[in-house]
Structure 1
């Protein structure tokens, strides 16, 4: 090239040009507002995070540049008829038509060259930042290019002068060079360093020129649609020589922006979803402007859409077709794509990241625009190509799959659904259902391990997270689980929109992959992946169809030959499906029938199994019990055939469990009983209770009474029943108020009396049972209506608890509080001048003292007899209650409490409850104080007995001393035994004991001891 070369000299003086020749003598005043609008350039807010960022008020976006670009050219920001203020001088308005327009471009390039040269030297030398005003150069460049664009927009440039202007613009582009060709420290100036540095200004100058040239070429195509420039800016895809200047410039800019993103991707990206592609707000703004301008052009049939324009770049990056073909005459004028030095080792990751970061830009509305813009524009064509490229990569690791699938998931969350990517991914994962090790991260961290859920709830919750779009656990999920998220996301949109044909296509592709042989080949992990796949589909689309199909696949397994681990997965899958059914308020009968049959077989095997098999079977049974509990807890009405799960095998299981297993099972069953009672209460408050509700609840209650309650009664009579027995018994007693058993003998009263006072029921169960129920007003009202002398009964069972439970126990406190509210107890306390009991722990002792005081205050003989008749039943069964403890003398703390409470009873109430016809006091003295082995010197005394006698003997002696021993031979003998046996043995010198002993020996001669 000769005289028309596109590469100009650095200085305008080289051509003997003096720009003073073009100056006008008196520069006119340019309006400030117009001047500022003409000087708009990129205003950097710094490096961006992964979140959205605002833009500077003077940016192209905020200043409404696009809106004016899309509008009619009737109002120009800088009228082409006015002189141009540039480079501190005023130029004639006809400069755009003057033959010396190229001289003005030379001055501009000289300014740009000075800035670029200084930026290159700034890395290796100490450069004073004020040697050149980079911001001013950028503003002057933008102002001049704005003038050129307005001149084109207004038609001020004649067609004969158009080639010269475009050639000068081309020359400017070549002189500046590619953004990708800038030194590394200049490119990095967006994220580090001073924003006023020459490196920063140099980089942003490229962004300004890129955008201004795109705007000018856009206006050129609008104003001069038939214009064809004789040269090309760059080599286009497929060597398209007919592409417009805008398309060529856009291709150049996109490649440079992709190169800029690549540098950031290589150096900074660890988590693509949390790292912005935009090194600063200006880079993001340029992408946004390009997206909006290109989409506007596409909607007005001027050019390709943005995604298609970007597709040419993505295709080249994927296929690594980096060799451009140059024509022989244009080698020096053409720019090559990709830029020199562009090479990536992760083309898929880079392109996915670019699409992920750019896609949200479509949702932003152009300032000043009144049109409603789409929230998202999809690009499944490129995404599909990227996925195929990814899945065909040799040595594909789980870590890479996770990283890219997370990007795909978030990228398509606002796009319309697409089945092609689902089918592509399914064909990949189907072959790897069994490859659990392939779903492990190479980092060796716990987050990288594939998770096979060990409970029904966790399996349900995990599938629920996928279908509801919760992203909190994304970083811990396997690639297969991320695929399930994608599947749910897209299928859910298809199904909800009524696209049944596409849903049938997806499920048909999935269903067709499984047959009997394939299902039997699945290992535990494969079976788990199959289950979660179908449960996720069921939650998303047609639940009944999917559940039925999954059960068909489960039926293909031979229960007798598959491992316990695989059986566990099947059981968890079935119960998880039940939870989904219950959530949808759908009947679970067909699933419950399958599970109760499998459970019955497992329990039968459990009863006859050896230690090793028993351990594995118990894990299986525990899944059923936990699943049963969760299904019932989740149900709000219990009208969905849940009762079928409480089958006879539940009772069978209770009879063959070990103690630890029994506690776990009973705890879960207790929650079931409580849930049913709660539902019954709520149903009772409903005015319109349906027939179905009544029938379902009758079946549920019958199953509980038959299969659970009968065991509770039997086990309550053992020596060491767990405390939960009492809890369940209390719940059954309350349940009998609203849903009694079919067995008419099991009324509320019989249940209450069985556990409250039966000698067959362990007393610890009775005490805990009463602590639950006596504080319930409904129970007390029912006892009052159904039981004669109910207060006498309650006081009797309360004192039984006082014998066994030491003072201070919370359980005894819960029993004592309602007892103190009984009318009979309040009357006794009032007669004894004890209006209130401040210390609840002392209530039993205070009650005995109150009985004594009240008895002493009664002077009338008949009233005394009536009072005795009232009180004696409170304590008539004491001997029967304490007999089991006296036989074993264990546990020691209970033995001690028995002696203490009985001693206080004798001390304060012996005279009240002792009558010649009764045997309360005599039997207590015989069994507690002077048992047979004490009188037999050949038998050693129990050390526990000796200790409690020593601690509590004085209580018995003080009580006996108040009796009329002069008229009763029994009392004489007992006191004589105490004096002859215990006083010498313990060397007791208590004044009361001595006084009593002396009284006995003085008044009554010692008679021979009974044999």
Structure 2
């Protein structure tokens, strides 16, 4: 291994502190210089010759010339060769050999000088010429080292090599020769000054040599610095290669070692003297050390702090070369003080040159470099120093109301508008805890806050508050309420970030109190243009709540102000206020959920804002609050056993501020969501709490009974899932069940009413519905109706238990005696209490075709069909049946409710057949109702194609009225239709529904034997007369004439008519009666009608003709004026009848 030469490991990795095992330091070169005693009269190898040390001194002049000759070979490569004009050489030059022989010579010379020093020999003792030659040697070395500035800047950047001395690049060896000789010169001078007794002058010479060595290294560092962008300075070092770092380290150890022996200045004194020369206008050098020629530097302050940072890190190396990533024993308070003073000095310069007011062009980019470096020094390498923090604070407080201080990159780069209070506080904590690789994402102010937080986190102590008081005084003094009032959103955000950083790391209560007092009040906010600013202020105050919660502090002193603000905000209607309430609720949720026993006055946050927020917010917006209140209830119940005051106070607040609003929340209905669950569970919680502690419930005007009745029987509850879930939860709680049974006399009846309501208004099958069905089936009231085991089992197994229930009621009533029916009817009517009021509240125009809407109408139709005798009370105009039919099928035409009429069409037959079960003939009101029903629904149940009047369709719901009804009731219907609609209204025109009735009759007749013979018999008996009467009275072109002919044709072709003589005779008689009435007074129409009959029914014509002939004969006999005309027309018929 060559002696005295550095062995390069390439560029320095910032995180790799291990020294090369072949390096000078690890080969103990420094240790040998400082400590080891070499053997005397040893033989040394010099320029390939082995000589005693005395011979080297005797022939020193010759060897100096040899050294100079070799160095000149290297100097040829100081300039970058022009392409195609490489230095001429006859043979390949081994540049390392050149460098090695020079260094070996100097190394051996140094060793010999050190050896003779021990015996108090001097070079003068060897000979006068030797001392002169030795001075020549030093001059030669210094001349060569003085040419460092001639080396191109690119050499400092690209000369390093990972292969070390195996490289044959001339630039590499030229550059490293400077490093080699600088170290050898320094150590030779040290040994010389330590060898002879010219102490004062020699020490000054040594200081100058060390000064020059450090100046050269700073020169190299400056050349490197100018090539590095500010953003990369965190990852780059001032060392062009590992050899430069090693040289810095050895010079540092050498200088500090000599300082301890009082033989020269301390390392930092050398360094500071050089760095001061970068600021000639600020500091006049008083040092006796020489001035040096350093290149111009645009950012001298940044460079100096960057350099000091890296040189401070070298103090992590112990004397043996092991790095510990923390100050080693080499770093004393004196060294810390000296380096710190220099940084303070530089920061003051920086501030005076525009850093304070932002006048520097790239002030924030520069601060982004400076602050992380100072951060590491202040928090990891130096003792507490408030002055650094104060100086950095001077760079920001004047510019705090500027947006560029906000973070624009990284995970926290979202705008302050989008950040929640949790985000703001988490960013503060994350900033303090973050790792170095996240530094590039921070703004300059963010980096300052990180430094401030870390510094206070490490050095804040309640017992020793000196550091904190100094920082607090400097920061607090810069703010006032008037100043913050004028701040923009950006300024407020920066202020908040600053104070929350202080609060997280120091006296939380004091800092938060100061911050809140300085910030403008959100209650007095009225200017819409500042909405975002006041939103941010509110977020900061909520972050204070989170911080209090994290620290487990009591909210007693601050809760009232938050509740007061929330009450005010909840009264505003704008979007910003709504957002502010959402943030408040989110923070409150965190606070309440993390509370252990509500012993920190959490109850004080519940106030009037809850009522207004739940009232005015959309159902899908209140889920967070209602779920939070539910969990609070659960936690209070868990705390009951421990009897804590906090849970008692919280329950009182819930009764005071939540219970009444929960009663009203259930009026909302949004079937598309699960909004109903939380309010319902809250209702259950309040009911159970009222059962447990009725006195507290009564205090706030509530009771378990009133709550139960409200949530099961109130008609304002539109979402029946609320009643279903509530009732299920109450019935599953034994304590509540027992309490309510004692307090409510008709508890079972109320349960049945609620069950009926749940089944009619909800068609879905779920576990709650199944539970309620099973519970109801065990009640004695239900068992009295389901009086057989079969009925009970069918009821329990039915997927439509409500339909089955109504059918069983109808079946049960038929088995009762007349005197039992009245009591039975009254009981059953109680189960359908207010049916007319709540049954239709879910149906509207938009959902009329849904499954649920039809299910509701189907249930209502079943009630009317099966239970009409139960609902109907004679001589009571507002009996349940009439009221229900009016509501579901005969709604007022103004306002129009077409959706109800649309659904009623589908249960029309159930309504009509339900009325059949009553004594219609004895009650004119029922007859009127039937007429109104047909008048309203005939146009809807019989549809005619616009393009073809003969194409029509009769709805099944109308057909079933005639298919399933008893003959007498069918006859009554047909009689009503004929009497009310097959009539002449005026101007010889029929009723507007006559045409539809004729189509209905055609449909019944043409159906053949689908309907019974009684239907055709009733048509002939009660309808035909009106039909023929209208025929005689309408004008010639009226459509009824053709409909009448079609009617006769359809009847004549009907199978029942052909097979039944009685029907034929009945029709003959009715036709003749109509003709007999009009043949004399309206002979033209009469004979036209008979003529039409002749084409349809010859048998009927043969029945009519003799009677017409007789009338004509009587007219002639009585010599009536129209006798001749009648006789003429009679002759016309004769040919048709024969």
1:727 pairs with 2:678: yes
Q: What SS does structure 2 have at the residue aligned with 1:84? A: strand
1:128-160 Cα offsets, whole Å, 9 max, x none, are 998222333344444334323433443378412
1:305 pairs with 2:255: no
Contact 2:500–2:512 at 8 Å: present in 1 too? yes
**Match among 272, 276, 279 for residue 240 of structure 2:** 279
1:257 pairs with 2:229: no
**Match among 37, 41, 52 for residue 16 of structure 2:** 52
1:345 pairs with 2:309: no
Distance in 2 separating the partners of 1:359 and 1:835: 91
Shift of 1:298: 4.1
1:700 pairs with 2:637: no
Contact 1:848–1:908 at 8 Å: present in 2 too? no
Contact 2:712–2:727 at 8 Å: present in 1 too? no
**Match among 632, 635, 651 for residue 676 of structure 1:** 632
Q: What SS does structure 1 have at the residue aligned with 2:49? A: strand
What residue is the counterpart of 1:581 in the other structure?
548
Shift of 1:99: 0.9
1:594-630 Cα offsets, whole Å, 9 max, x none, are 3444555666xx57xxx8xx67766776665565455
Contact 1:80–1:93 at 8 Å: present in 2 too? no
Q: What SS does structure 1 have at the residue aligned with 2:371? A: helix
Shift of 1:491: 3.3
1:971-1009 Cα offsets, whole Å, 9 max, x none, are x99999999966962677799986773352547552265
Shift of 1:890: 0.5
Distance in 1 separating the partners of 2:833 and 2:88: 107
1:753-779 Cα offsets, whole Å, 9 max, x none, are 357423344322x525756x7897996
- Check 1:797–1:503 CA distance in 2 against 1; reply closer, same or farther (3 A cut): same
Report the TM-score, using the length of structure 2 for normalisation: 0.66
- Check 1:998–1:901 CA distance in 2 against 1; reply closer, same or farther (3 A cut): closer
Contact 1:804–1:897 at 8 Å: present in 2 too? no
1:93 pairs with 2:64: no
What residue is the counterpart of 2:76 in the other structure?
117
1:500 pairs with 2:465: yes
- Check 1:184–1:946 CA distance in 2 against 1; reply closer, same or farther (3 A cut): same
Identify which of structures 1 and 2 has the higher relative contact order when contacts are C-alpha pairs closer than 8 Å and 6+ apart.
1
What residue is the counterpart of 1:316 in the other structure?
277
Shift of 1:111: 2.6
- Check 1:802–1:155 CA distance in 2 against 1; reply closer, same or farther (3 A cut): farther
Distance in 1 separating the partners of 2:439 and 2:471: 24
Shift of 1:343: 0.7
Shift of 1:390: 1.2
- Check 1:927–1:411 CA distance in 2 against 1; reply closer, same or farther (3 A cut): farther
**Match among 40, 60, 65 for residue 106 of structure 1:** 65
- Check 1:782–1:288 CA distance in 2 against 1; reply closer, same or farther (3 A cut): farther
What residue is the counterpart of 1:290 in the other structure?
251
Distance in 2 separating the partners of 1:213 and 1:571: 68
What residue is the counterpart of 2:662 in the other structure?
712
- Check 1:615–1:914 CA distance in 2 against 1; reply closer, same or farther (3 A cut): closer
Distance in 1 separating the partners of 2:891 and 2:716: 33
1:209 pairs with 2:173: no
What residue is the counterpart of 1:188 in the other structure?
157
- Check 1:525–1:799 CA distance in 2 against 1; reply closer, same or farther (3 A cut): same
Contact 1:646–1:703 at 8 Å: present in 2 too? yes
What residue is the counterpart of 1:25 in the other structure?
none
Q: Where do residues 450-489 of structure 1 align in structure 2 (5 Å cutoff)?
A: 455-468=420-433, 474-475=439-440, 477-489=442-454
Distance in 1 separating the partners of 2:801 and 2:403: 71
Contact 2:8–2:162 at 8 Å: present in 1 too? no
- Check 1:509–1:903 CA distance in 2 against 1; reply closer, same or farther (3 A cut): closer
Shift of 1:418: 0.7
**Match among 144, 169, 184 for residue 175 of structure 1:** 144
Shift of 1:273: 1.9
Q: What SS does structure 2 have at the residue aligned with 1:399? A: helix
What residue is the counterpart of 1:758 in the other structure?
713
Shift of 1:505: 3.1
Contact 1:295–1:305 at 8 Å: present in 2 too? yes
Deviates more, 1:520-529 or 1:554-563: 554-563
What residue is the counterpart of 2:559 in the other structure?
592
**Match among 360, 363, 382 for residue 396 of structure 1:** 360
**Whose Rg is larger?**
2
**Match among 109, 112, 115 for residue 154 of structure 1:** 115
1:405 pairs with 2:371: yes
- Check 1:725–1:301 CA distance in 2 against 1; reply closer, same or farther (3 A cut): farther
Q: How many matched pairs?
A: 910
Deviates more, 1:147-156 or 1:451-460: 451-460
Distance in 2 separating the partners of 1:985 and 1:210: 116
1:636-669 Cα offsets, whole Å, 9 max, x none, are 5432223222234554x449x7556x975x4453
**Match among 439, 442, 455 for residue 490 of structure 1:** 455
Contact 2:46–2:108 at 8 Å: present in 1 too? no
**Match among 383, 389, 393 for residue 416 of structure 1:** 383
Deviates more, 1:623-632 or 1:54-63: 623-632
Q: Which runs of 5+ in 1 are unaligned?
A: 1-35, 232-241, 328-333, 838-842, 863-868
1:985 pairs with 2:942: yes
**Match among 637, 640, 644 for residue 600 of structure 2:** 640
Q: What SS does structure 2 have at the residue aligned with 1:763? A: coil
1:364 pairs with 2:313: no
Contact 1:469–1:489 at 8 Å: present in 2 too? no
- Check 1:202–1:547 CA distance in 2 against 1; reply closer, same or farther (3 A cut): same
Distance in 1 separating the partners of 2:468 and 2:441: 29
Contact 1:845–1:904 at 8 Å: present in 2 too? no
**Match among 944, 949, 954 for residue 899 of structure 2:** 944
Contact 1:900–1:952 at 8 Å: present in 2 too? no
Distance in 2 separating the partners of 1:453 and 1:205: 60
1:340-395 Cα offsets, whole Å, 9 max, x none, are xx111110111122123333222233447799925977422111111111111142
Q: Where do residues 856-871 of structure 1 align in structure 2 (5 Å cutoff)?
A: none
- Check 1:370–1:589 CA distance in 2 against 1; reply closer, same or farther (3 A cut): closer
Q: Which runs of 5+ in 2 are unaligned?
A: 817-822, 944-951, 981-1138
- Check 1:997–1:168 CA distance in 2 against 1; reply closer, same or farther (3 A cut): same
Distance in 2 separating the partners of 1:794 and 1:191: 92
Shift of 1:255: 2.0
Contact 1:805–1:894 at 8 Å: present in 2 too? no
Contact 1:933–1:940 at 8 Å: present in 2 too? no
Shift of 1:538: 2.9
**Match among 234, 243, 263 for residue 204 of structure 2:** 243
What residue is the counterpart of 1:14 in the other structure?
none
Contact 1:960–1:975 at 8 Å: present in 2 too? no
**Match among 963, 967, 971 for residue 998 of structure 1:** 963
- Check 1:165–1:556 CA distance in 2 against 1; reply closer, same or farther (3 A cut): farther
Q: What SS does structure 1 have at the residue aligned with 2:557? A: helix
Q: What SS does structure 2 have at the residue aligned with 1:177? A: helix
What residue is the counterpart of 1:886 in the other structure?
840
Give the root-mean-square deviation of aligned CA atoms: 5.7
Report the TM-score, using the length of structure 1 for normalisation: 0.73
Contact 2:868–2:918 at 8 Å: present in 1 too? no
1:380 pairs with 2:334: no
Deviates more, 1:714-723 or 1:116-125: 714-723
Distance in 2 separating the partners of 1:992 and 1:602: 57
Distance in 2 separating the partners of 1:547 and 1:215: 59
What residue is the counterpart of 1:239 in the other structure?
none
Shift of 1:729: 4.3
